[in-house]
Amino acid sequence: MNIGFVGLGIMGRPMAHNLIRGGHTLYLYSIPSIPPDLIGDNGIACASSKEVARKAEIIITMVPDTPDVDTALFGKDGVAEGLTKGKIVVDMSSISPLDTKTFAARINQLGCEYIDAPVSGGEVGAKNATLTIMCGGNQPTFDTVTPLFELMGKNITLVGGNGDGQTCKVANQIIVALTIEAVGEALLFASKAGADPAKVRQALMGGFASSKILEVHGERMIKRTFDPGFRIELHQKDLNLALSGARALQISLPNTATCQELFNACAANGGSTWDHSAMVRALEMLAKHEIN
């Protein structure tokens, strides 16, 4: 297929690379620039999102936030200006479920289909093509795009209609944040009590408390490797979606709010671009003790 890819950052770059490696021709656009290693026989640089949409059958966007998707799709020289009937737009960013429904309706009015397909798995999952992909859209369009998803991920689910993929991703980010907080508290407790946190983590990995976050982010906390990964500022954005959604639904998410405050504390101390596992630093500041 001729695939368009808009947004080639920490996640988009390896995802695009896996599509190229799968034999597809990719038309590429990104701000501020297109990674040079993607440009070649099957990777073609474009001057705008409009040009990408004009040349591709399926257009994927992978950008940071809701306003960025809006700009990529509907801004000047955006994807919408290059679409013709029958094309498919796939947004793999993590954004507002409500705005996603609006974006989908606008794309549908142009005679095109829309899938929201946010991902989980971070940079490692993007590089290894093991992402979890949560989709919202109709079954025929999902079936058409699934072979592309299979080049980027392993756990691929059509959750429901447009917006439901994004709702699933918000739920995912709630669980991830709360689990990071729990792992941070546990390792901080162990370290302060005088136990070796690395040995504690090793023991816990064999029990009911085991999780991917204990495995990956627990190791980050112990080794102090907080280069992203997934930036705190992006997780703050996702929890904002959760908390604003909770207000609209008139439900309480008290522990989600606590995790957001811990992220806010990290950001206040210069940590907006730390990996989200560095939430533990806020707990360490409260305890006046660093895991060691």
What residues are annotated to the active site? 169
DSSP string covering 181-199, please?
A: HHHHHHHHHHHHTT--HHH
As given in the structure block, the two tokens for residue 34 are: 């297109």
Side-chain-side CA neighbours of 162 within 13 Å: the count stands at: 18
Q: Provide the terminal-to-terminal Cα distance of the chain, rounded to the nearest Å.
A: 51
- Backbone torsion region of residue 121, taken as left when φ is above 0, otherwise alpha when ψ lies between -120 and 50, otherwise beta: left
Give the amino acid at 114: Y
- 180 φ/ψ sector (left φ>0, alpha ψ -120 to 50, else beta): alpha
Please check whether residue 41 is in contact with residue 47, taking contact to mean a CB–CB distance below 8 angstroms: no
CA Rg value for the chain? 20
CB-based contacts of 36-40 (< 8 A; 24+ apart in sequence): 38/8, 38/13
Across 64-163, where does the E strand assignment appear?
Answer: 88-91, 113-116, 119-120, 131-136, 153-160
User: Cα separation of 122 and 61, whole Å?
Assistant: 16
90 contacts 61 by C-beta, under 8 angstroms? yes
